[in-house]
Amino acid sequence: MKTLVTESVEIASEIVRNGGIVAFPTETVYGLGAPFSDTEAIKKVFDAKRRPQDNPLIVHISTPEQIEQVASEITLSAATLIAEFFPGPLTIVLPKSGAVPELVTAGLETVAVRMPANEIAIALIEGSRTPLVAPSANVSGKPSPTTAAAVIEDLGGIIDCVLDGGQTRHGLESTVVDCTGETPVLLRSGSLSIEDLRTVCPDIKKLEPSSDLSRRSPGLRHRHYSPEAAVLAVNTPDPSPPPNTAFIGFMTAGEGYDFVVPVETKEEYAVRLFEFLRECDRRGIQLVHCEAVDEAGIGSAIMDRIRRAAAD
């Protein structure tokens, strides 16, 4: 199959309406979209990504009202978070409506929903005339794509179309919050920090690894963000690293590194991390040193991704 790369929302949404699967930019990372109720197209999404079927998908909406199509109830904490942060890099988990196929939720009774803060994404959802499921547009286990070229690298020849909207603004995925219970629970740290969430939901909890919710968030179990190289979090650059080693971080790295990406802020670190990991693969890097950052603000999501990239 030839994958069409286009900047035309009209063309891309026509492909979705005709049953094709289309990668598109959001403010976080690129997603791979299909209508939330079209199980044939959704199966193609799972196949293209080689995604385990027990990992549920996020439904992307273009207006807050569309939540009612996919959720059976909007809890108080959800309403508070929606009012403050939609559109934005926040995904909320709610009890699902009967309209959402089991394939989307991996058999769970809940559905994850978000409204991206990206004009192109919103226009695609509107042009498709339905909310779209969209996992990150990478092969499962790889770093999420932040450019159309990274999508093509993983899924070129496998998906119908990439809607090219340039580099994504945040670079790490959305923050996922379970709003089904009395107290909202952070399931995945992401572009929106827990400090930001606490400004309107002071009681929000972090997920206990041993909790029941942990079982209910299957994405946490799977291998993630892994380049071919081994990844290590470091506090300072190595003055004499082994051959074929790369570094990303704030400090000035010595000449021993084969590839260095310097960053000035945590926001820039977040934007560049996944593309850095991909570039390491392109260059045949064998060991990656990521400078550890403090966990305030976006730092928590950066460290989460580095730890998971380092985990295997």
| Site for Mg ion, rule CB under 5 A | 136
The smaller minimum CB distance to Mg ion, of residues 30 and 257, is found at: 30
Q: Which residue of the chain is nearest ligand TXA when measured via CB? A: 219
Sign of the C-alpha dihedral computed for residues 204, 206, 211 and 217 taken in this order: positive
Size of the site for ligand TXA (CB under 6 A): 27
Minimum CB separation of residue 136 from ligand TXA in Å reads 4
Minimum CB separation of residue 144 from Mg ion in Å reads 5
**Number of continuous H segments (helices) and E segments (strands) in the chain:** 11, 15
Stretch that binds ligand TXA, among 37-45, 50-58, 71-79, 268-276 (CB under 6 A): 50-58
Stretch that binds ligand TXA, among 8-16, 170-178, 272-280, 293-301 (CB under 6 A): 170-178
Task: Report how far Cα 287 is from the mean position of its chain's Cα atoms.
Answer: 24
Q: How many CA atoms lie within 13 A of 212 on its CB side?
A: 3
Task: Report how far Cα 216 is from the mean position of its chain's Cα atoms.
Answer: 18
CB 82 within 8 A of CB 67: yes
The smaller minimum CB distance to ligand TXA, of residues 68 and 283, is found at: 68
The tokens describing 3, both together, are: 């994958």
The tokens describing 289, both together, are: 């040193």
Minimum CB separation of residue 244 from ligand TXA in Å reads 29
Rounded to whole angstroms, the Cα distance separating 98 from 216 reads 19
Rounded to whole angstroms, the Cα distance separating 125 from 68 reads 16
User: Of 178-217, which residues contact ligand TXA (CB under 6 A)?
Assistant: 187-188, 216-217
CB 77 within 8 A of CB 184: yes
The smaller minimum CB distance to ligand TXA, of residues 201 and 260, is found at: 201
User: Of 234-263, which residues contact ligand TXA (CB under 6 A)?
Assistant: none
Question: By CB under 6 A, is residue 62 in contact with ligand TXA?
Answer: no
The tokens describing 230, both together, are: 């081994």
Rounded to whole angstroms, the Cα distance separating 81 from 258 reads 44
Among 9, 21, 22, 29, binds ligand TXA (CB under 6 A): 29
The tokens describing 272, both together, are: 């560049």
Q: Which residues contact 290 (CB under 8 A, 6 or more apart)?
A: 231, 232, 233, 234, 247, 248, 249, 273, 306, 309, 310
DSSP 176: E
The smaller minimum CB distance to ligand TXA, of residues 141 and 297, is found at: 141
Question: By CB under 6 A, is residue 218 in contact with ligand TXA?
Answer: yes
Minimum CB separation of residue 256 from ligand TXA in Å reads 35
Residue 56: name its binding partner from ligand TXA, Mg ion, none (Cβ under 5 to 8 Å by kind).
ligand TXA
Residue 217: name its binding partner from Mg ion, ligand TXA, none (Cβ under 5 to 8 Å by kind).
ligand TXA
- Span between the terminal Cα atoms of the chain, in Å: 33
Binding mask 125-164 for ligand TXA (x = CB under 6 A): ---------xxx----------------------------
User: Interface with ligand TXA by CB under 6 A: which residues?
Assistant: 26, 28-29, 31, 55-58, 91, 93, 105, 108, 110-112, 134-136, 173-174, 176, 187-188, 216-219
